[in-house]
Amino acid sequence: MMKEQRWSIDAAPGSITFVATSSVHPIRTRGAATGWFEAAFDDSGFAPNNTLQGRLEVPVAGLTSGNPLVDREMKRRVDTTAHPLIVAEIESTEESGGNTARITGTIVFLDVETLVEGELHLLPGPRLVGTGEFDVRWWGLDPPRLLMLRVDPIVTVEIDLLLV
């Protein structure tokens, strides 16, 4: 029998990665996430008709690509003092079972709230993983263009979160 539990995100091994394509090379920016999820699941997956709720926070100042020039430009464009967090909240889930939950939620970034949809997959651990594509223009950002460097506005976001 499964009962609903509240799970915290273990920030140390958990990660969120933003992958942008450019005319030169992919740009991978990675950071830690904190937050919580509330759901009923066991080793076989999510409980049938489960309602998954949750909140995820990503400190923008902690995002790093490994390239100081890219990191400096990102933090200049975002103004991490005025906008320190990217916040995602799950608003609702469709009927789910097994190891996949279809979710609808909001992402608040740069004081702009945007409705998004996606899937989360439950893996042993328990871990939540998912991938989604988002257009940075939804939050009022124009992709950088400098000489030959052109960055695509569509960014892939990959999450891999260990729950405790």
Beta bridge partners of residue 105, listed in sequence order: 90, 116
The CATH number assigned to the domain holding 112 equals: 2.40.128.110
The closest of 156, 106, 109 to 130, measured between CA atoms, is 156
pLDDT of 100: 86
pLDDT of 46: 75
Cα torsion for 99, 105, 130, 101, to the nearest 10°? 10
User: Per the structure, how many domains does the chain have?
Assistant: 1
Backbone angles phi, psi at 159, to 5 degrees: -115, 145
Q: Which domain, by its residues, includes 154?
A: 5-163
DSSP 60: G
* pTM value > 0.75: yes
Question: In terms of residues, how long is the chain?
Answer: 164
CA distances from residue 19 to 57, 58, 153 in whole angstroms, order as listed:
18, 15, 11
Residue 98: is its pLDDT beyond 80?
A: no
Q: Cis ω on the peptide bond leading into residue 144 (within 30° of 0)?
A: no
pLDDT digits (tens, 9 = 90+) for 29-88: 999 999 998 887 766 677 766 678 899 999 999 999 998 988 888 888 888 899 999 999
pLDDT of 124: 83
pLDDT digits (tens, 9 = 90+) for 111-159: 999 999 988 888 888 888 999 999 999 999 988 776 777 889 999 999 9
Confidence of residue 2 (pLDDT cuts 50, 70, 90): low
pLDDT of 104: 93
* Consecutive H or E run containing 77: helix 68-78
Residue 53 gets the label, from left (phi > 0), alpha (psi -120 to 50) or beta, of: beta
Pairwise CA distance, residues 69 & 157, whole Å:
21
